[in-house]
Amino acid sequence: MTVADMVAESFVVLSIFRNFDFLIPDAPELIANFLDGEQDASCKRNAFMMLIHADQVTVINACFLKSEHSM
Distance CA 16, CA 19 (A): 5
Region 27-40 average pLDDT: 85
Percent of the chain with pLDDT strictly greater than 70: 82
Give the chain's mean pLDDT.
Answer: 81
Region 23-45 average pLDDT: 86
Higher confidence at residue 65 or residue 1? 65
Q: Could you tell me the pTM of the whole model?
A: 0.72
Distance CA 29, CA 55 (A): 9
What would the pLDDT profile of 36-45 be if each residue is shown by its tens digit?
Answer: 888 888 888 8
- Burial label for 68, CB within 10 Å (0-12, 13-18, 19+), is exposed
Give one DSSP letter per residue of 27-59, joined into a string: HHHHHHHHHHH---HHHHHHHHHHHHHH-HHHH
